[in-house]
Structure formats: C-alpha cells, structure tokens
A and B are shown apart, each in its own frame.
Chain A
Amino acid sequence: MAQGIRDKAVIIGMGCTRFGERWDMSSDMLMAEAFEEALADAGIGRDQIGAAWLGSALDDVNVGNSAIPLATALRLPPIPVTRVENMCATGTEALRAATYAVASGAVDIALALGVEKLKDTGFGGLPIRTKGSVNDLWMPYGSAPGTFAQLAGAYAARHGIDAGDLKRAMAHVSWKSHQNGALSEKAHLRKPVSMETILHAPLIADPLGLFDCCGVSDGAAAAIVTTPEIARSLGRDALVSVKSVQVCASNGWEMQYGEWDGSYVRNTRIASARAYEEAGISDPRRDLGLTEVHDCFSITELVAMEDLGLSDPGRAVADVLDGRFDRDGAVPCQVDGGLKCFGHPVGASGLRMAYEVYNQLQGRAGARQLDNIDFGLTHNLGGQPSNSVVAVSVLGRL
C-alpha cells in the first residue's frame, strides 16, 4: 500500500509575478522574477537547489522545449532540470515532481517553476493547435470555451435546471471572482464587474458569454520545496506542508465509451477523493478553509463544486447563488480572483493557486486574508471535460 506524501515535504519559498498582458517582459524575465521572490522567501542560495522542474504547457509558444529555458533563465548550477507538461495541470505537475523528489529522499531542496508567455501569440484566448496528425482527420477543432460550454447544457439537462437559473449562477461565479480580483495586486483583471454586465456580455460559446471566460495571461510562479527537517534547520517554523498531490487523466472513457452523460468531470471526483484520503481530510466542507479551483470558465467552477464534494449533486446553482463560495461564504473560492481575474498563464496557474494558499496559511494575504485557515485546496483541469487531466493538491500547516 502506497504511503503517500503527506507531510514529507514542505514549501519554504514561493514567488509569483504579476499576471496579465506583460508586453514588458519575455518568458525568461518572468521566470527570473518569480524565482527571485521564491528564493528570497526561502532564504537560501541558488546553489542549494538540488533539482528543478519547469512547467510550460504550450511548448511552441515563447518558452521552448526542454528544461533548458529554465536552466538558462535562472543560470542554475549543473543539476537535474526537467520540463513537465500536462495541459492546464502543468504547474501542479511541476510541484508534484519537486515534492515527490524531496519526499523520496532523492533531493534535499527542489524547485518547481511554471511559466507561460501567451500574449505574444497575437490571439485573444488560447492559440489554436493541431490535435495530432491522425486525430486531425476526424476530431473537430473546438475552442476551449466551446469544449467547456458543453458542460453547461449537459449539467442543466442532467439536473433539470432552468437555463436562466444556470446563467445567473454562472454570472455570480464570475462576479464573485471580479470582486476578489480587485483585492489582488498581482491579478490580471482588477475591476469589479456588475451582474448586469456579465449577463449581457456577447456570447463566446453558448451559453458562455465573455465574462464567463477567464483571462489568458503572461506570468510565472515558483515554489521551493524541502523536507520538514531541513526547513527547521534553516530556521523556518510555521511550516506549510504538502498534504497531498493527486493527478488523474482520461483514458478515453468519457469521450469514447457510452456511460458518461457530460454533466460532470470524473477526473475531478477521482483526484479529489484520492487527495482527501492522502491528506487525511474526511469532511472537505468542514476542513477546507479555501479553494483555488480551475475556473477557466464559470461553468467549470460551478460543476467543480459538486465534483470536489463541496455541493450536493444538482445543488451547486443554489449554493453559488446563496454565496456559499463567496469570500465571506462557508468555503471561499478564488479569493485571489482565480483564473478568471488573476489570470491564466497555463503552466503557471497551478503554482499561482498554491501561492495564494501558501500565503493564506501563513497569514500573509493582506486585504484578502481569511480567518482560521487550516487547509487549502488547489484544482486544475487540463484539456476538456470529455478528455481531461485533473490535478488536486491540499496544503496545510505541519
């Protein structure tokens, strides 16, 4: 029986750039900025890092293949440096790799850094890419909002939810994140937006409007991970521990096998159940002080509330409209603005979520600081509901 990684690795330093349209910075500059903050936070020198993982999801967009861009940007010493890619779960994959390396005893101190430089592509939204030479013969090129919009119709059909009620609940998801994003100095979008504006925005993919979609951004985030023992030897106390990191990937069951009804994300259910078990969380509604979930689109966050066990099946619309996931609600979600407003530089997003939880656990979240936080959850959903990679992590105090 696998022992898991609970409390075998702690985060001693994190950094995160301002996300947004960073016309002033290239990917190496973003990496350097996030790294310098993390290094200063950890209070160590660059030469103390024993291994590093670079998370970059879109290899042909301004970062480049392999881990060499990271090693070069940071002028790392000659250590093992590896690039990981798992679509929108990429940043958390980098954290998982660093955590596993430390937990295994193979490495004393490891770096995880995620970066994406999307705004130089000239696209609004994610750039369009091939799905592979065989898949391109039959698989449609849908946009990201197109793939997630389908979740809305299937969810409404499954639970008999009125389209207008669902639209209002989705709008509330985005409204809440805009409220929160206004409090985040490093967020991409910092203006509160009214419900009326959200509800009447142009359609992007039915029924998702413009404000149901997250920002596509430039940015980088980094974490430095070590063992609790080494952290204490460095003079650190009030340690933030990695309680669990779980990943689950589709094997074609949703897209090719006739059982899934399209109304939920199976991998979120599986990954979160494993993450809760690994972290020792028996009641996530009670134990989680905040969640940073993958709100690439408003419907994604709404359905994730059920898949993470934070709403009963078919109840997310009511819970969202009741403010259960607002900043002052029972289980605050996206207190930093989420993908929606903090932004979504794909490879960095998982680490950005960890950055917020890390700061909240240490009482360093400033105007966004929540009370009584013991555990926080991060959740990434790469791909699309019918063919996804999901990463869930739980961070907490040691």
Chain B
Amino acid sequence: MANRSIKSTGAYLPLLRFERKAARAELAWSGLGGNGKGRRAVAGWDEDALTQGVEAAREALAQGAGTVARVVFASTSPAFSDRSQAVLLAEALHLARDVETADLANCRRTAVSALLRALRGPEGDELIAAGERRAAQPGSAAHLTWGDGAAAVVVGDGSGVARLLGAGRVNLDLLDIYTSVSRGLPYAAEERFVRDVMVSEALIPAAQAALAQAGRRGEDVALAVVPETVSGLYAAAARKLGLSAPNVIDRLGAEAGELGTAAPLFGLALALEQAEPGQIVLLAGCGNGCDVLVLEVTAKSDRRSAHRALDEGAPLTSYSRLLSLTGGIDLDWGPRAEVNQKVSASVLARHGREMHGFVGGRDQGGNVQFPKTPMPVNPALAERGVYEDVILRDEPARVVSITADRLNFTPDPPFHFGLVQFGNGARVVMEHCDVEGAAQEVGAPLRMRFRIKAIDRQRQFRSYFWKAAPLARPQLAAKE
C-alpha cells in the first residue's frame, strides 16, 4: 500500500442552527413537523456548497496551502453543473494555476471514494473538500433532518494523523433518496426498506471487506463514522459486524443535520480530533452503495474545527426565516431586488482570480491596497504602481465604520457593510456576514469569509467575493 496518510482535516458549519422544535410547533396543524429534537445548520443566503467547502478547506490547510498539487470538490448540490467548483476553490485558496482539479457530483459517496483514491494515489498533497446546500421541500423529513455544511481532508505522502489499513466497496442502485435534475428536490423511499437493504446488501459486505483487508475485527474499531441516512442504520449494521464503537456522526445529525457528501468527512474530522494514536476508525460513505475505509490513527490531531463548528453558532427560531433561507418561500422584496446584477464574462476573466483569491498588492512604498490600481493610492508615490501580491483572507482586520442598512436589498436583512482596516495596512469597503443582533462596534476584530457576492436572478448566475465576519462566534447552548 502507498505510503500515504491523512495530514489534516477541516470542518465548517454555517452560523445559524434552526431549532427543530420551532418547525414542530409551526407545523403542528399538519403533522409534518418531525420530532422537534435538535437543530439543523442553515446556510446564510450567501453561502452555497462551494463557499462552505472553501471555509472547510481553509481549516484543513491552516498551515498553508502552498504544497497542494490536486484539488477535488465533491457535492450533490453544486450551484453550477457546468462551471468548475474545484477551479473556484483553487482560486479562493490562491493555488497555482496549474494545480490539478476535479469536480465530483451526483452521489453522496464521492468524497469518501475520492479519499480512498487519494490514500492509494500518486505523490503530492491532495485537498478533498465536500460541501452541501441541498434543497428540500418544506414538510419533508429532509427539510428538517438535513443540514448545510462542509468538510475537507488533506492527504499527502509519509506519516500524518491517520493511514489506510483496508477498504471495501459495494455498488448498488439503492434509491434511499434520489434527486432528478428536472425536479431538483429529493424523493425518499420507505425508511424500513432502506435500512434493511442498505445494511444487508451494502454496508455490511463493504465493511466486512474493509476489515478483512485491514486484518482487523469489528471489536477493534474505536470510533465509527457511518452517516445515518435513515435512523437506526448504524445500530443495525453494528450488531452484525460486532462493532461496539460509538458512531461519532450521531452528534452531527442531532446538532447540525445530515450533510450529504460532506457528512462522512465531517464525521472523520470529529473522530480524528478526539482519537488517540493507535485507535482504529471505520469510515463509511453511503450513496448508491458504500465505500468503507478502515483507518489507523497515527498521531494526535491538532485540529478542532469540527468540534468548534458544532459548539459555536446562533439559534434560529423563526420558521418563516428558515423557509426564506432554504427557498421554501419566495418573498417579494420590492424594486430594490430588481437591480440587474449581470456579471461580465470578460471582467471576470480579467479580475476574477484576484477577487476570488482576495489578492491585494504591496506597492513600492510598502503600502498594501485592494484592489490594485494603475496609480497607487499611497500619497507618497507619484508613478505607476508595481505591486507584490498580498493575500488578505487571513490578515487580522477591524471595523473602521459599519451600519445595519435596512433600505438596501438583501435576502436576509439587514445589510451590514462598512470600511474594514487590515493589519497590513489594506483598507476595503466590505459587506459583513454572520451578524446576528447588533452590528459590530468601531474597532471590533473581524475575520474574512468566502461568500456569494451577488446572485443574478435573471440569468441564475452568482459571483463570489469575501465578506467580513465577527472574529468569534457565540457558543451555542448545550443540546437539550
């Protein structure tokens, strides 16, 4: 087996966590409100599978992205079917223009399949990111049990935090859920059928093959990561496999929801953040079959982003706001929402890479500015500027001025924006995100988030840029 290992993991959840009890109360008349337990993560209006994937990748690449040779982006809910999300991911991370990229879609299992290939694959660091923002119809179980979020893994040569011991696979066109292009919403099969057949026909055979290849038994597994696409799935499989390990993904489902393609990688991040060297982790990716990996933890991970993502957030208790954010209702925002936001392809080709990568420039006098301009803003310079690229996304920043604008259109009012001062001297007027309640104070610290800049509703296009968010997120109250 190749001398490859998992180097790091990263995870991301959007700020808002919808309290499912609010749906149960609102939908009591219909009986469609679910069990009312736990929360689901809800993407902001300006978040999609890609933006969340970028944030998870940043967590995984906390030590820097300079060595990444390959980028894989996996999702069943990419905003584009013909615009590479992996290329945009690479641009957001300002990776080299010749980095190898691949987009994986159409199956919730692809991120785990990609991880297996990377662990067996060619030399060089490979980033695998998975993100989901899946649409589901209000009233369906999926609308409340699914969540939005992302996770990422970096695989590279030599030793890391975990290595592959064995793997197994079963392909099976099992329609636990399916989503057709024309309908765009999931259709679910009867849960008992799914659980019985998924366990017996896919999960158990794949796990048995993986354990056999690893030379391990069920009781050797310390931590399991098995997405619960239907409840009781892991318990049913564990009995047959002799597994007694906790399924760490349970917490994800209860507190953020089922994350589709991103779920197994998020669960893997949770597992590796708490695992001790020598422990065995069983990782399953399910979707039209199963890929099961048996991993050995080889070092203590220094990452905590998965646990932090679950611990931090802001409760969302308005069912109508959930509907608005998830596309369940289409509110009339008035004429300010009608502005033409068409993005010029030639402008994007000329400036997109610097926008996506948040690339400013340091002029010959040492001042950093964004964007770069022919003549530097630095008053000390009188000639055409020559700039050194400066990436602003990880620079410390603070509020110079800010407001909560209630006149300007945004799909989730109010619209926070203002001047942001970066520690390296750059200054940018920016939209803010992830502000619940009062706006930040002048001088408050900020962090940058990759977000949707604007959605062109006439042409169903979206552009991406960075927004300023409060540096720290609030702690969520403990799960009920």
Contacts and interface: CB of A to CB of B under 8 A. Distances in A.
Interface string B61-97: 0000000000000000000000000000000000000
A153 interface: yes
A147 B415 CA distance: 11
A154 B339 contact: no
A134 interface: yes
Contacts of B405: 142-143, 145-146, 149, 204-205
A364 to B, nearest CB: 37
Interface in A384-398: 386
A143 B404 CA distance: 10
Interface string A252-270: 1101111011100000000
Contacts of A255: 419, 427, 429
Contacts, number: 141
Nearest to B407: A143
Contact of A130 (B339, B355, B418, B421): B339
Nearest to A144: B407
Interface string A373-387: 000000000000010
Nearest to B399: A153
B408 interface: yes
A229 interface: no
A255 B463 CA distance: 22
Nearest to A256: B377
B406 A137 contact: no
A258 B403 CA distance: 19
Interface in A149-199: 149-154, 156-157
A154 B430 contact: no
A283 interface: no
Contacts of B407: 125, 143-146, 204-205
Interface residues of B, number: 52
Contact of B347 (A128, A133, A151): A133
B335 A123 contact: yes
A122 B343 contact: no
A140 B378 contact: no
A137 B351 contact: yes
A275 B425 CA distance: 33
Contact of B430 (A140, A157, A208, A262): A140
A138 interface: yes
Interface in B106-143: none
A371 to B, nearest CB: 40
Contacts of A143: 405, 407-408, 415
A282 interface: no
The number of chain A residues touching the other chain, given as a range, is 35 or more
Nearest to B442: A157
Given A146-B408, A146-B415, A153 B371 contact: no
B344 A133 contact: yes
Interface string A105-123: 0000000000000000111
A149 B406 CA distance: 11
B179 interface: no
A137 B403 contact: no
A125 B439 CA distance: 23
A136 interface: yes
Contact of A262 (B343, B347, B419): B419
Nearest to A255: B429
B336 A206 contact: no
B371 A128 contact: no
B401 A136 contact: no
Contacts of A134: 347, 350-351, 371
Interface in A194-237: 202-206, 208
A255 B403 CA distance: 16
B45 interface: no
With most chain A CB atoms within 10 A of its CB, the pick from B373, B377, B407, B441 is B407
- Central interface residue in A138, A144, A203, by most chain B CB within 10 Å: A138
A354 to B, nearest CB: 29
B336 A138 contact: no
Contacts of A121: 335
Nearest to A158: B442
B370 interface: yes
A128 B348 CA distance: 22
Given A142-B405, A142-B415, A253 B379 contact: yes
B416 to A, nearest CB: 9
A129 B67 CA distance: 42
Nearest to B340: A130
Given A137-B355, A154-B401, A203 B406 contact: yes
A162 to B, nearest CB: 14
Contacts of A153: 401-403, 441-442
A139 B340 contact: no
Given A123-B336, A139-B429, A142-B417, A256 B403 contact: no
Interface string B400-436: 1111111111000011011101000111111100000
B408 A142 contact: yes
Interface string B327-353: 000000001100111011001101110
A3 interface: no
B146 interface: no
A206 B439 CA distance: 8
A140 B348 contact: no
Contacts of A150: 401-403, 418-419
Q: Which 9 A-B pairs have the closest CB atoms?
A: A146-B405, A150-B401, A149-B403, A262-B401, A157-B442, A140-B431, A143-B407, A143-B408, A256-B377
Interface of A: 121-123, 125, 127-130, 133-134, 136-147, 149-154, 156-157, 202-206, 208, 251-253, 255-258, 260-262, 386
30 contacts: A125-B407, A127-B335, A128-B339, A128-B408, A134-B347, A137-B352, A137-B355, A137-B465, A138-B453, A139-B429, A141-B409, A142-B417, A145-B405, A146-B417, A149-B403, A151-B401, A154-B401, A204-B407, A205-B404, A205-B405, A206-B439, A253-B377, A255-B429, A256-B369, A256-B426, A258-B425, A258-B427, A261-B400, A386-B419, A386-B429
Given A134-B347, A204-B405, 8 more contacts: A127-B335, A133-B344, A137-B352, A146-B408, A203-B406, A205-B403, A205-B407, A251-B377
